[in-house]
Structure 1
Amino acid sequence: MARLGAEAMLSFPEPLRIPDFRLYWIARFAAVLATMGMVVIIGYQVYDVARSAYGMSIKEASFQIGLVGLSQFIPIALLTPVAGWAADRFERRTVARIANAIDLVVALSLATITYQAILSLPLLFTLAALHGVARVFVNPAMAAIAPNIVPPEQLPKAIAMSSIAWQTGSVVGPALGGFLYAAHPSAPYFAAAALMLVAMVALTPIRRVVPPPIQGERHPIRQMIEGVTYVRHHRFLLGAITLDLFAVLLGGATAMLPVYARDILKVGTEGLGLLRGAPAVGAAIVALWYSFAPLRRNVGAKMLLSVAAFGLMTVIFGLSKSMTLSLAALVFLGGFDMLSVYVRSSLVQLHTPDAMRGRVSAVSGLAISASNELGELQSGVAAAILGPVVAVVAGGAAAMGIAGLWSYLFPELRRARTFDPPATALADALMEEKPA
């Protein structure tokens, strides 16, 4: 009788009442904490090595930061179809654990070359590329796990809670990395390796997440590109994914944070950690809010407005010469970005059938990586030509323009009232799952 009562109570649980989701949350938090700590230190080391060991100017060293983004994006672009196919073909926990193991090796390698003081730009670029390889496989696998361990009606709230793990890790990771780097330059990487191990262990007890069989006998290469085809033929998904791609690609200010920390605001690595963590503070607040009070109305219009506000906060940050104002702008920037991510992630997951989630998540992940890593390259090139301040301000203005343009090009986004996919979208999804 007591058991039946417990089962009834757990029929429609809040996401964190589900043991598997708790373990998933821990794994995501640990991995993001490790990754964000690594990324901020890699960027700083590249800029610092370029300035000190290679004698580059601010503009020349800024361009090297852009090359870090390119070195991570190339493997992501090449391997995204394979990663999405793997997430839809193999047991998803296993794919995520293997990817985290690769990142653990990268962290230990960075720790070793830092400890032995044998840093060079080619070594840093190579390890940044291997870090990109790990990320391209872990992201679609992790994204596809969540919808299988929570009830569909809880998915928007679960996405918000998962975003809290991401954003909390993004807050603590850079700050922790900066302080650990001040204690010893290799310490952030040793800590990242330990956290990757925690993520792998946390994923292990979760029940097996085996994707449904891919229909038909199509060649694996054709199966890999079906994610791209699916997104291309569904204007709603195409608009939601490309909105984030172009807005962050043009408006990303985070690539220039090492420049601002070292040469504009002059706050060093500790200040860099605070600057890098500030957007995640705003994002975590917004994610926490929506985990308790999920957004229900006018979701598309609010996503578009949040992208425009993201661009405005980028402009304010770019013009700021005050650490206090810069931190405030970045906090609001992160909050608006989180609102956009929350809406887009929920819409993409709920408009995609489970058999396609890995591949569509890979396409979405490619767009995110393109916006982040190629955004770093774009920012580096723009900073080399125009200077870092003009590059950041122009990028923020461009993000505001993208929000207005996408509202016109993809009216489906503006008209989206709720997260529920329309009946026509569900019918299309069912048709896509049928064998050719």
Structure 2
Amino acid sequence: MTPEPNTPPVSGLAAFASRDFRRYQMARMSVIIGAEAQTVAVAWQVYSITHRALDLGYTGLALFLPGLLFLLPAGHAADRYDRRMIILICYGLQIICTTALLTIAVLGLKNIWLIYGVLFLIGLGRAFSAPASSALIPHLVPEGQFVNAVTWGAAIFQLANIAGPALGGLLFTLPLGWLASGKLTGPGIVYIATLCSLLIFEVLISTISVRLGRMEHRAASVQVILAGFQYVRRSPMLLGSFSLDLFVVLLGGATALMPIFAQEILHIGPKGLGMLRAAPAAGALVISLVLARFPMRRKAGRLLFTAVGIFGAGTILFGLSHNLVLSLIALAITGGADMISVVIRSSVLQLATPPEMRGRVSAVNSLFLGASNELGEFESGLTAQWMGAVRATVVGGIGALMVTGIWPLIFPKLRKADQLTAAALRQDLHPRP
């Protein structure tokens, strides 16, 4: 394939010229704020019932398992059916699940297996909505504005990740028990806010005008369903990108342990937990705004590995810190570094994948993301149960640094990646027949 002439990266607010992109991002901001607030409430509720780090890890496992079990049909569905409709149905399921969490909170039920069951259903909705959402984004803006759209999408995601945990921590402690004779306190108030955010999301997504229909016209078969795996396996840059995030976040992520740091190490309570959850997003937001104004032009692969190394170092600093300010700074550093990684990996995923394959390839990516995030929470809870939260976090950060040193040797094409354009990435991504 002959490379297209180099064009300067698009900066500024170019992606917001698209009406569908604006509405999609408003919907994302609303639903992420609600979801992050809900995550704070669920984590605190589970830990207050059992006081065991391992049980916090099980919350991540419950969210991850549906992605593992339904990966293949979710990817095929995203390429076979209207992606917008899939998203609406999946978030309808989220409304039902949040209503169930609200009921558990109001009734004061202490059976955490009920909570795990609801989280499993939430994970089921995410398993189908994630590849559909990822594959929809390139159709909301012209191709030349895609990296700009990814950068702003990441900025909005991080802004919501700042507001969501802060909102969750605030609502969790509001003295509003009089709303339901003292029963609607703590998690219940948060779940009501999450329900409102989900309803806003459904309304905005229903007004998006893009209708893609079928991208994959072949009926379901083993060959068609497995095509995403085969494409990633034959593409060293995609496989390297996906697996890098998997192992770094799997080892270095400390999100699931934040309730322990908030309560037992920093002694800052649920409001402080919201601050800890928001700190990585604050760092990521700053970096995303910088990238929107000054987009990456060259040497994307080297920048990716540098950012991942900084992420590991920030994780170690957070694990060793017993000071709130230092802990917030360390988490902000990890968030900023992760943002650079997100923009590069998201661009590689979409620009290097043919439109008719994006649902299935995005489903494979969702599996890696789920393993790194939700399964990573289980790994964090398990190791913290064995060696304590501080040691588990520090060891995880060291493991992330080791991965950063090994992956450039295993995937040299990823290290040598230069421009984030479809022409450059697809030129470097010729799957072997």
How does the TM-score come out when normalised to structure 2?
A: 0.91
Alignment length (residue pairs)? 411
One-letter amino acid of the structure 2 residue matched with residue 363 of structure 1: V
- Offset at 1:33? 1.1
| Contact persistence 2:234–2:432 (CA under 8 A) | no
- Offset at 1:285? 1.1
**1:366 has 2:367 as partner:** yes
Pairs within 5 Å for 1:147-226: 147-183=138-174, 184-185=185-186, 186-211=188-213, 213-214=215-216, 217=218, 219-226=220-227
For 1:106, the equivalent position in structure 2 comes to 97
Q: Select between 17-26 and 219-228 the one with higher mean Cα deviation.
A: 219-228
**1:253 has 2:254 as partner:** yes
- Offset at 1:201? 0.7
CA offset digits 1:119-164 (Å, max 9, x no partner):
3211111111111111112211111111001011100010011111
For 1:57, the equivalent position in structure 2 comes to none
Pairs within 5 Å for 1:264-275: 264-275=265-276
- Offset at 1:428? 6.5
- Offset at 1:249? 0.3
Instruction: Quote the RMSD (CA, aligned, Å).
Output: 1.9
One-letter amino acid of the structure 1 residue matched with residue 17 of structure 2: R
SS of the aligned residue for 2:228 comes to: helix
CA offset digits 1:143-197 (Å, max 9, x no partner):
1111001011100010011111211111111110111111221011111111011
CA offset digits 1:280-303 (Å, max 9, x no partner):
001111112212221111111000
Q: Distance between the aligned counterparts of 1:273 and 1:72, measured in 2? A: 21
- Offset at 1:319? 0.3
One-letter amino acid of the structure 2 residue matched with residue 358 of structure 1: G
One-letter amino acid of the structure 2 residue matched with residue 140 of structure 1: P
Pairs within 5 Å for 1:67-78: 67-78=58-69
- Offset at 1:218? 5.3
| Contact persistence 1:353–1:430 (CA under 8 A) | no
| Contact persistence 2:167–2:274 (CA under 8 A) | yes
| Contact persistence 1:31–1:100 (CA under 8 A) | no
| Contact persistence 2:140–2:210 (CA under 8 A) | no
Q: Distance between the aligned counterparts of 2:211 and 2:313, measured in 1? A: 41
SS of the aligned residue for 1:321 comes to: coil
| Contact persistence 2:82–2:214 (CA under 8 A) | no
**1:28 has 2:28 as partner:** yes
SS of the aligned residue for 2:211 comes to: coil
One-letter amino acid of the structure 1 residue matched with residue 133 of structure 2: M
| Contact persistence 2:38–2:194 (CA under 8 A) | yes
Q: Distance between the aligned counterparts of 2:428 and 2:315, measured in 1? A: 40
Pairs within 5 Å for 1:11-410: 14-51=14-51, 61-183=52-174, 184-185=185-186, 186-211=188-213, 213-214=215-216, 217=218, 219-410=220-411
Q: Judging changes above 3 Å, is the alpha-carbon distance between structure 1 residues 318 and 13 closer, same or farther for their aligned structure 2 residues?
A: closer
Q: Distance between the aligned counterparts of 2:232 and 2:397, measured in 1? A: 27
| Contiguous gaps of at least 5 residues in structure 1 | 1-11, 52-60
Q: Distance between the aligned counterparts of 1:219 and 1:204, measured in 2? A: 27
Q: Judging changes above 3 Å, is the alpha-carbon distance between structure 1 residues 341 and 213 closer, same or farther for their aligned structure 2 residues?
A: closer
| Contact persistence 1:145–1:209 (CA under 8 A) | no
Q: Select between 403-412 and 203-212 the one with higher mean Cα deviation.
A: 203-212
Q: Distance between the aligned counterparts of 1:127 and 1:114, measured in 2? A: 12
How does the TM-score come out when normalised to structure 1?
A: 0.91
| Contact persistence 2:99–2:195 (CA under 8 A) | yes
Q: Select between 123-132 and 315-324 the one with higher mean Cα deviation.
A: 123-132
- Offset at 1:424? 8.5
One-letter amino acid of the structure 2 residue matched with residue 35 of structure 1: A
| Contiguous gaps of at least 5 residues in structure 2 | 1-11, 175-184
One-letter amino acid of the structure 2 residue matched with residue 339 of structure 1: I
Q: Judging changes above 3 Å, is the alpha-carbon distance between structure 1 residues 429 and 120 closer, same or farther for their aligned structure 2 residues?
A: same
SS of the aligned residue for 2:278 comes to: helix
For 2:180, the equivalent position in structure 1 comes to none
Q: Distance between the aligned counterparts of 2:313 and 2:412, measured in 1? A: 22
One-letter amino acid of the structure 1 residue matched with residue 113 of structure 2: P
One-letter amino acid of the structure 2 residue matched with residue 373 of structure 1: E
| Contact persistence 1:110–1:127 (CA under 8 A) | yes
| Contact persistence 1:160–1:342 (CA under 8 A) | yes
